């Protein structure tokens, strides 16, 4: 009998208990494992904007925020108005992420008259199991001895993929880009892989072409924050250039995707421009001379034509 699956804390970084949402503060990793207490919709939106959690963490936080306001508003007559206000606040937090797909889902459930809280809990349980399936499907694409390059962080899926490979008697190792300027690769991906006993090497973002040209990488696996109907994806800035290099060096480029949004193509995905301070400073220390401007698009668009295979998160509304 297989041993129980060991999950990274990043696989499910948000929890709900006793009318409080507990959010893993990913900005403090790897130095500190700390959960922020969120007790209002406003605090949840602030956690999203400040990237206290990201990717899967922000998706689950959306649903837990609705659970929170349901618990806080016992008056069923006024609940729909509160839910709509909550959806509007969440949708305004980060433009590139398809939160509207999620908030519309909750509002549709509420309008249908079905037990809203039960639907939300059931959806989250399904999301968790489908993510496990997504990781297992990805592991089937990996060969024994593969060295995998990844960019940014896929919310606990990379060590899970490695775990499934291990169960298939396949040994894999990883290269992780540092992923400037938030350093999700070196702070999060490298941390969770090392925590779970897998070999990982961090490289600076600008070293990707050299590393690929040296023949050190067999596969590239990244996530996606947004999937358009035509297969284009939005992911952490720097993904597009890695996809171009993968095509140049004939290396498979795999993407773990969320369900498609209404966007017809990548051109319809609005790119979030983050505050320049996040690029010019790190943990309060100025990295560039005063007066220098910064430009930090948080995402870029990788066209479908550069993607070897989409590994879909198969969810039904």
Catalytic residues: 225
Distance CA 124, CA 147 (A): 32
- At residue 260, what are phi and psi to the nearest 5 degrees? -65, 145
**Phi/psi zone of residue 69: left (φ > 0), alpha (ψ -120 to 50 degrees), beta?**
alpha
Query: Which among 306, 277, 308 is positioned nearest to 293, based on CA atoms?
Result: 277
In degrees and rounded to multiples of 5, residue 128 shows phi and psi of -60, -45
Can you read off the two tokens belonging to residue 19? 């009318």
Q: How many other C-beta atoms lie within 10 A of the C-beta of residue 216?
A: 13
CB 99 within 8 A of CB 113: no
**Structure token pair of residue 205:** 């973002």
How far, in Å, CA of 258 to CA of 223, rounded? Answer: 9
- The answer for residues whose C-beta is within 8 angstroms of residue 87's C-beta and 6 or more apart is 100, 103, 104, 106, 107
């Amino acid at each position: 009998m297989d041993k129980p699956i060991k999950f990274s804390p990043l696989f499910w970084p948000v929890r709900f208990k006793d009318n409080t949402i507990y959010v893993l503060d990913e900005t403090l990793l790897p130095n500190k494992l700390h959960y922020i207490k969120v007790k209002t919709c406003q605090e949840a939106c602030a956690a999203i904007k400040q990237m206290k959690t990201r990717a899967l963490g922000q998706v689950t936080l959306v649903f837990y925020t609705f659970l929170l306001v349901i618990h806080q508003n016992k008056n069923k007559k006024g609940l729909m108005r509160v839910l709509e206000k909550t959806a509007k606040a969440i949708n305004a937090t980060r433009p590139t992420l398809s939160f509207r797909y999620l908030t519309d889902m909750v509002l549709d459930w509420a309008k249908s008259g079905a037990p809203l809280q039960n639907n939300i809990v059931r959806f989250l349980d399904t999301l968790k199991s489908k993510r496990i399936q997504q990781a297992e499907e990805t592991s089937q694409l990996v060969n024994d001895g593969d060295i995998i390059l990844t960019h940014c962080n896929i919310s606990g899926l990379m060590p899970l993929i490695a775990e499934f490979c291990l169960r298939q008697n396949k040994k894999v190792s990883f290269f992780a880009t540092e992923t400037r300027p938030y350093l999700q690769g070196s702070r999060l991906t490298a941390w969770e892989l090392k925590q779970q006993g897998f070999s990982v090497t961090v490289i600076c973002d600008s070293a990707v072409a050299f590393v690929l040209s040296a023949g050190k990488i067999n596969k590239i696996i990244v996530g996606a924050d947004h999937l358009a109907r035509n297969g284009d994806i939005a992911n952490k800035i720097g993904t597009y250039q890695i996809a171009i290099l993968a095509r140049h060096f004939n290396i498979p480029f795999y993407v773990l995707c969320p369900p498609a949004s209404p966007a017809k193509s990548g051109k319809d995905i609005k790119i979030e421009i983050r505050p320049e301070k996040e690029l010019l400073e790190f943990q309060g220390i100025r990295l560039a001379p005063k007066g220098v401007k910064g430009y930090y698009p948080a995402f870029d668009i990788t066209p479908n034509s550069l993607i070897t295979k989409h590994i879909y998160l198969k969810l039904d509304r």
